[in-house]
Chain A
Amino acid sequence: MKIIVALKRVPEFAEVDLKIDETGKDIRKDNLPFTINEADNYALEEALLLKEKYGGEITVLTVGEKSADEVLRLAMAKGAEFAVRIEGDYRDPVILGFLLSRAISEFSFDLILCGSFASDDGYAALGPSLASFLKLPFACYVNRINFSPPLLVIERELEGGKIEEKTLPLPCLLTISTGINTPRYASLLGIKRSQAREIKVLTLNSLGTNEKEIEEMSSLSLAYLSKPIREAKALFITGSADEISEKVAKLIKERGLL
């Protein structure tokens, strides 16, 4: 099975108080560690599992500046064969879908996997956008894949824990939910070896497009970022761990539940 996985490099921000930079259009990223987008990591693992079971090869793709190479190398360290980076800083899901479709049209493939959404912009749109440019059948929020030739039988998550079971022919595209598997860690040797591996870099020119065409395709634009204004903020309990516990315990006791 020839599998393509789209990856994104994102900052880690759990338990971090994010600051907006002076442009007002981005957050300050200088002190944030970067990593592979969580859902993409599950998609990559799913590709590795499918390859182990059915054979084949994995190509990983990303759109980004040179710094994005690190997620491609991480994927190669885990077992991806080929890596392609489309040069440029694009965030519009329609443009990203178009660029990836142009790059992918040069490959033969059976399956494309994407993460179900990116933790940074939360658009949850790349997969279907890419599928539309490639005219592929697709499904989102997939949390189980069974290959029953010639069809894929998948389960996808709906609201309230409900599951939809669906069949798709190959080739197709799936966006993968977090939790579908347990992503492996890359071995140190794998990471070391991946540093010397080739990453094919594509530009707008080599994809047969140009800035003007991309500009015209733009579906959204960012005016500025702001911190949310929180309504009905919690009443904060302060003090030492002991003092806090005293007050919280009292609150619980007052509800008559102990």
Chain B
Amino acid sequence: MKEIFCLVEHEEGKIKDITLEALSLARELQSRCEAQLQSRCEAQLAEKFSLSVTAGLFAPDERLLSEVSSLFDETLFIADPLFSDFNSESFVDYLLWALKERKPNFILIGHNSFGVEIAPYLAAKLSYGFIPDIIGYEIVDSNLYFRHEFYGGKIIALLSSPKERILLTLRSGAFKPKEIKTVSGKVTQLKREGFHPKTRVLGYKEQPTGDVDITKADIVVGIGRGIKDKANLSLVEEFAKEIGGVIACSRPIVDYGWLPKDRLVGSSGKTIKPKIYLALGISGAFQHLSGVKDAEMIIAVNKDAEAPIFSCAHYGVVGDLLKILPALKEKIKEIKS
């Protein structure tokens, strides 16, 4: 039997969205493969080669077991206090041990701070094909290809693997969970003792919020690499003051130390839903877009007409923000008076 294995990610007793997204992709691949097999061979044979969608649930207790086993055809369940925190070292070691013999055809893991540690290590150790951060797939002449972004989303690469067995990491939000069918899946409980990780998680903490809470503002003025120079910040500050908005930013601005981290919008920062988001000189890498996609109106200014931000923005201006901003400030002033 063939198998698609999904690593279950959970937090505070809840299955994370990324796992449901992985399940949804797995079910899609399952039905595609089965349709293809059935058209090729006898039904009996197809049965033999049918795909099973398996979950790996590694958790400190049984809390999630019944929920997971109602979603997946089979659940590999390991209960161990080791999994009360997300130390990738323990996960990797147990995964290697649990999957070595099973050799699933696909392994699906989220492309996030957890999966990014586990997946490449596992792929190299298992000699699997490895396609990271996939955002979609295509089947051409019964070959399976996966879409992945190069150059911050400006180019799409179509990737495949020469290996028969492949580990994929999934971009979060790229595979929308469809209607999920419930099953009465089999549970296989595994036991293992004697693993002592060399690394240790001491704890978790939240990023402190400073004097401005960007998640509460109606108008947010977001700045990115296109601002060019720290000296231009004053221009943006004056503009933000005139329009009555707060300043937020994309990753490079925090990295340069021009704004504190509590102003960061995106996957490693905050998610905001303002009434108006002005994206100035922000190219729109997915990490940033994931934090603003629910803004009511996005107006983007960027020099590059092909910048990904324009796929998310409602209105776009192709041009130099340093020229447009002073003019816009004057117009706002006029309207207000």
Contact = CB atoms under 8 A, between A and B. Distances in A.
Contacts of B111: 124
Interface in B81-127: 86-89, 111-114, 116-125, 127
B291 to A, nearest CB: 9
Contacts of B207: 161-163
Contacts of B300: 234
Name B's interface SS. Answer: mixed
A226 B156 contact: yes
Interface string B241-265: 0011000000110111100011010
Contacts of B153: 228
B185 interface: no
A137 B123 CA distance: 16
B206 to A, nearest CB: 6
A124 B116 contact: yes
Contact of A160 (B152, B267, B283): B267
A15 B255 CA distance: 18
Contact of A137 (B199, B255, B257): B199
A93 to B, nearest CB: 6
A163 B317 CA distance: 36
B328 A249 contact: yes
Contacts of A124: 111, 116, 132-133
Name A's interface SS. Answer: mixed
Contacts, number: 294
Q: Interface centre among B132, B155, B264, B296, by most A CB within 10 Å?
A: B155
Given A14-B225, A234-B300, A165 B116 contact: no
A237 interface: yes
Contacts of A231: 311
B304 A17 contact: yes
Contacts of A153: 202
Given A128-B116, A252-B219, 19 more contacts: A15-B226, A15-B303, A42-B255, A121-B150, A137-B199, A139-B199, A163-B204, A164-B113, A218-B162, A227-B155, A230-B311, A233-B311, A234-B298, A234-B314, A245-B331, A251-B297, A251-B315, A255-B275, A258-B243
Q: 5 closest pairs, A vs B, by CB?
A: A234-B316, A161-B207, A179-B255, A125-B120, A249-B331
Interface of B: 86-89, 111-114, 116-125, 127-133, 145, 148-163, 198-207, 218-219, 225-226, 243-244, 251-252, 254-257, 261-262, 264, 267-271, 275-276, 281, 283, 296-300, 302-308, 310-319, 323-324, 327-328, 330-332, 334-336
Interface of A: 13-18, 20, 27, 38, 42, 93-94, 97-98, 119-129, 131-133, 137-141, 153, 156-169, 172, 178-179, 182, 217-228, 230-238, 241-242, 244-246, 248-249, 251-253, 255, 257-258
